[in-house]
């Protein structure tokens, strides 16, 4: 289960980075901001999973 959540966090980070880069390339600030937020959500999810791993062991 934890591996699935970690993969979801990585996927969310990657999608955020892509959307941010696309927004930057198109000059679309809103898309860039949305990508940054999606990436931040992925970062937070990944941090949560790492903390859970620390307390499991």
Residue 35 tokens, joined:
């990508």
Provide the CA 19 distance to its chain's centre, in angstroms: 11
> Of 53 and 13, which is predicted with more confidence?
13
Task: Inform me whether the pLDDT recorded for 34 exceeds 60.
Answer: yes
Residue with tokens 């937020």, as numbered in its chain = 37
Task: Give the residue-averaged pLDDT of 31-51.
Answer: 94
CA separation for the pair 47, 6 (Å, rounded) = 9
Whole-prediction pTM: 0.80
Backbone angles phi, psi at 27, to 5 degrees: 75, 25
Domain locations along the chain: 2-56
Nearest in space to 32 (alpha carbons), one of 44, 24, 40? 24
pLDDT band, residue 6 (cuts 50/70/90): confident
How many Å apart are CA 15 and CA 6, to the nearest integer? 14
């Amino acid at each position: 289960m934890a591996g699935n959540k970690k993969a979801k966090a990585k996927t969310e980070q990657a999608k955020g980075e892509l959307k941010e880069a696309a927004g930057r390339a198109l000059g679309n600030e809103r898309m860039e901001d949305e990508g940054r937020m999606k990436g931040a959500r992925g970062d937070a999810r990944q941090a949560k999973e790492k903390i859970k791993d620390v307390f499991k062991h």
